[in-house]
A and B are shown apart, each in its own frame.
Chain A
């Protein structure tokens, strides 16, 4: 059962309702869940993927965006290999909160953590954050950047696979040295 060589912890954070749970469900179960409620505390999901013919186990922690769960969710930052910070491209306030999230990450996460900025819900017509604005923000803060749609399954697979590949590269590099 445990025939994997690499195990990585990926933690999703971001305001409530930006679509973290939908992104995870889309990736792990291949569906867009209808009307599931807000996440309580943290959810935990596992998916094993193949990268360069190696089994890579991704342990995905889907955190609750609501403020009252912050004490729970923060405690998972420290052991994360990758942090996905999600905002909703059709909702300016979720973008405006990014600096707060970065402060939290700075305080609780390892300095080596791989950080990815994700603008979700690109299927929506009422975009408020242009792509280049997100891109610039990510660049300024040394993060990868990707725009996704959990609903239309756009870039979701790519997001997680790229993280898996990147983490594997880093871990190979550390092994070799």
Chain B
């Protein structure tokens, strides 16, 4: 469990980092918090010969209020997001999702850009970004692209980033004033990747659901936007009947695999239960009651 030989490059500006990635695109990997990449290198499952280390680039770590959305620098630590009042107020689903990520020491190193680029199917941030229609900003020596979340995640540990691109910023739309949000998940142990998790942002109009955004993690090759359950809920009041229909719709939509931790059927069932619970909690926070 020792990594194969690699060179360690330490740029201090984004521009420098982009040049290094351009020079070594084929064999280089970006090093962010290292919480996922370094274990893979120790197992020699990842063996980049060049590591471009973003940790000395101060310009990549920020949380900015840009009016309609929050802009979060890719190297912002998960712990900084957890501690940000701005995030809690403007994007409460991102805050709630963060509380479900791993343990404090891991959140102190792990970055939002790393989590999203890594695209672990069970990770909370990819599902959250998908639910909230966030936009990823990717840069390379060739220029800059904005990639909507719906076009960013491709499958297990796979995204539409090109090998010379660096994810620099994530733009998360602010939650509507009268909405509520909740990220609910079930794990075998405290702090583990979820067996199934669902993020919900719900806007109520009196008793009725005016808007709802739902996405799940842990129940497919990537995050899943729960469009079927959203359709069930929209413009309806949250009766037991409707909640149970939404639960079933979510279970029916996802297509999980089984593994040593949970069968496919159990994960499918959990996707429904987590959907119901996330919607109930989010609606409760929206003041809509259940």
Binding between chains A and B: no
- The chain A residues found within 8 Å of chain B, CB to CB, are none
Taking beta carbons and an 8 Å cutoff, which residues of B are in contact with A?
Answer: none
